[in-house]
Amino acid sequence: MEERIATVVKNAGSHYLLSELPAWEPFPAVLRGKVRLQKSSATNPVAVGDQVRYIPAAAEAAIITEILPRRNYVIRKSTNLSRQAHIIADNLDQAVIAVSLYFPEIKLPFLDRILLTCEVYKIPALIALNKVDLYRGEAPEAVEEFRRIYEGAGYRVIETSCKTGEGIDELRKACSGKLSLFSGESGVGKSSLIKAIDPSLAPKIGQISLAHLQGKHTTSLYEMYPINGGGYLIDSPGLRGFGLIDLEKEEIAKYFPEMLRVADECRFVPCTHTHEPGCAVKAAVEAGTISAERYNSYLGMLEDDGKFRKGF
């Protein structure tokens, strides 16, 4: 049979769902063993968002024969000690990182590691500051401080509440016509945001799983959904850690946009922005134009204490 090209829309362990986008007609597929061996440097040789060549099968699962080149991806250090990395998703137009200031309490170093990874692989990122109805009245200064830090760094921040509907239209427009990865820590309301953007997704999800993977191991690791009005979302499990990979310490500052803007003014090149005299980054931190919180995240990455760089 002649090979065809499709996109991976679901990763369910050793089984996948493919669809020839923009048509949304998911069908099951498995990976040819040779491809699995060739991609053995990662825990998952195929990721949601991959374009692949496949051989159709009339009654059984299609056979994935080749993974086409990726234009970008989000990757983190894996928990599997025998492998190097885990690819979360690829070929993305943007990443939407859901956070909440409280319930659960935000961990800025965790957020900064995701943002840095997006910068490394040239994936535009925006931040959905969720559950604002719970804490804006009690701690409005915390909301403003968060916006100051991340808008000052150059990121778009959308305040959202699934309960009141605040910010949902703005977030929906930001995702229209794009392939967006939704990521964040467990408990921040990421799945609720996805359902708020398109309430019709919940029944579609059930229909896809039952129709195509019934009787198989269907624990979904990552899954893509079409949204009304155009575009696709990739849902990912709530993360408890985000490990950096393939990044030298000397490179880290290049992926903090606010540091990159002033780094050319440092007296010494290269500059680690830690102890050197005449450092423009340290001067900007002291002046308040670069946030101390982001700078401390940078120092934590340099120290590599293992708390965030190991997988969970």
Domain count, the chain: 3
Does 312 fall in a domain? no
Same domain, 268 and 229: no
- Residue 215's pLDDT is 35
Domain end point (choices 206, 235, 264): 235
Please report whether residue 242 resides in a domain.
Answer: no
- Which domain, by its residues, includes 44? 4-70
Q: CB under 8 Å to 244, separation ≥6 — which residues?
A: 76, 77, 113, 116, 117, 301, 308, 309
The percentage of the chain sitting over the pLDDT mark of 70, rounded to a whole number, equals 82
Name 269's Cβ contacts closer than 8 Å, sequence gap at least 6.
Answer: none
The reply to whether 222 and 106 lie within a common domain is: yes
Residues 131, 231 within the same domain: yes
State the CATH number of the domain containing residue 147: 3.40.50.300
Name residue, tokens 């299609």.
62
Residue 82 counted as domain residue: no
Confirm whether 289 is domain-assigned: yes
Q: Are residues 153 and 205 in the same domain?
A: yes
pLDDT value of residue 67:
92
Three-class SS of residue 120? Answer: helix
Distance between CA 82 and CA 197 in Å, rounded? 39
Indicate the pTM of the whole model.
0.84
pLDDT band at 211 (very low <50, low <70, confident <90, very high): very low
- pLDDT tens for 90-149 read 999 999 999 999 988 898 988 998 999 899 989 999 999 999 999 888 889 999 999 999
Are both 116 and 204 inside the same structural domain?
yes
Report the alpha-carbon distance of residue 20 to residue 41 in Å, rounded: 27
Is 83 within the bounds of a domain?
Answer: no
Q: Is-contact 169 176, C-beta < 8 A?
A: no
Both 138 and 180 in a single domain?
yes
Are the beta carbons of 210 and 17 closer than 8 angstroms?
Answer: no
Checking if the pLDDT of 201 tops 90, the result is: no
Q: Tens digits of per-residue pLDDT, 265-307?
A: 999 988 999 999 999 999 999 999 999 999 999 999 888 644 3
Which residue in this structure is represented by tokens 């025998």?
82
C-alpha 130/C-alpha 138 separation (Å) is 15
Are 120 and 229 in the same domain? yes
The reply to whether 103 and 227 lie within a common domain is yes
Q: Tell me: do 132 and 32 sit in the same domain.
A: no
Q: Specify the CATH number for the domain of residue 276.
A: 1.10.40.50
Residues 204 and 297 in one domain: no
Q: Is residue 81 part of a domain?
A: no
17 pLDDT more than 60: yes
CATH number at residue 22: 2.40.50.140
Alpha carbon dihedral 295, 301, 302, 307, in 10-degree steps, equals 130
**What's the token pair of residue 10?**
């679901």
Verify that 217 and 96 share a domain, yes or no: yes
* Residue after which a domain boundary falls, among 17, 42, 70: 70
Same domain membership, residue 154 and residue 98: yes
